[in-house]
Structure 1
């Protein structure tokens, strides 16, 4: 049976892999993983209300507002009023946003989710419960986290803030 050093080493390797990919993504696209996911979510549907974006990428509405602000400053999305209900604001991808998406690499979790999906159900359950237990042991289970493999926090209300890449 592996001892605590093997476990800690594996946790560190996971953290390093996420960190390296996050740096690669930022260098290649100028975007963080959450920013890329929001841009992709809007692009797929054409125009989205911030609440719809929040649900589709599992982030809070406040976090989405912050990310959309940054994407707007970078010229990658615009906020527009809904044609039928002028009270409703929707987010739309600009031509610059579509160009940025064209060459963007897949998010780190894409390959992970393919491999995870190929596992037997008992293996999936075992991995999920084991990692939930580890998160609890590290008192990380109290943190609000989205299912995005990214180093750093996702909201300006959090202790740390996403980089402003505009």
Structure 2
């Protein structure tokens, strides 16, 4: 069976568009809020549902807890997040926004990750499966199967 290669330029252009929009959203977030896209994403989640535990924040960000700890370290260093021992479970740490963190969220633009998740949630099951399978193929084509995913942000 002969494959139709006429769509190859459009596939490459669409990949470029995806990278460009992620980069632009991250640059806008950094310019307006002074923090990276992933940091802003963490703040926006905490603004909606704090207090949270690191594991729950990591789950909502689709990241590993160790990656989220690094993001939280930087946010805490900027005075945007606090970590306090839980009153219900003394072994657990609760994450909350500071007033400064709330101000940053109120003035900040949307982040690409939130738009991506919202868009994926709105897809039909068939569309979602097509996107998932296409992304799996793309990862294999690029030989990226073994790469540990990192947060989306500009270079």
CA distance in 2, matches of 1:44, 1:52: 13
Are residue 150 (structure 1) and residue 130 (structure 2) matched? no
Structure 2 gaps of 5+ residues are none
Please give the root-mean-square deviation of Cα atoms over the aligned residues, in Å: 2.3
State the SS of the aligned residue for 1:48. coil
Match 1:53 to one of 42, 57, 73: 57
* 8 Å CA contact retained: 2:26, 2:153: yes
TM (normalized to structure 2)? 0.82
Match 2:86 to one of 75, 78, 82: 82
Q: Report the Cα offset of residue 45 of structure 1.
A: 2.3
Q: Report the Cα offset of residue 36 of structure 1.
A: 1.4
Counterpart residue number, 1:10: 14
* Structure 1 segments (4+ residues) deviating >6 Å: none
Are residue 26 (structure 1) and residue 5 (structure 2) matched? no
CA distance in 2, matches of 1:35, 1:19: 15
**Matched pairs, number:** 151
Please give the per-residue CA displacement for 1:88-140, whole angstroms capped at 9, x wherever unaligned.
22221100000111121122244444554554432332222122211110112
Structure 1 gaps of 5+ residues are 153-166
